[in-house]
Amino acid sequence: MPEANPELQNEVASLVVSALNLEISPQEIQPDAPLYGEGLGLDSIDILEVALVVSRHFGFQLRADNADNVHIFSSLANLTRHIAANRTK
């Protein structure tokens, strides 16, 4: 699996922190730690909020019915790789 772009990963981490008003800095999000449940501790509502912000910011739709969502949102690194592959802006 290719490495996630560090600059894009920082941008995505910043979006997650600001969208969810997390009381951590973007640098504190471990790239391979789970976003959902243990790890960052996000729930399904948080994931929906992240999907909306990412969709608006990067110009592509993250769909709720995408079978790959579990993988896409499994970590910051996977989310970043998905954005890099699909972004339009």
70-83 tens-digit pLDDT: 999 999 999 999 99
Phi (first) and psi of residue 75, to 5 degrees: -160, 165
Q: What is the CA radius of gyration of the chain?
A: 12
Look up the pTM and report it. Answer: 0.90
Measuring CA to CA, which residue among 43, 6, 41 is closest to residue 27? 6
Residue 33 identity = A
pLDDT of residue 66: 85
Whether residue 17 contacts residue 26, with contact meaning beta carbons closer than 8 Å, is answered with yes
Domains of the chain: 6-20+32-86 (1.10.1200.10)
76: which 2 tokens?
């910051």
Q: In the chain, which stretches have pLDDT less than 70?
A: 1-4
pLDDT of residue 1: 56
pLDDT of residue 27: 95
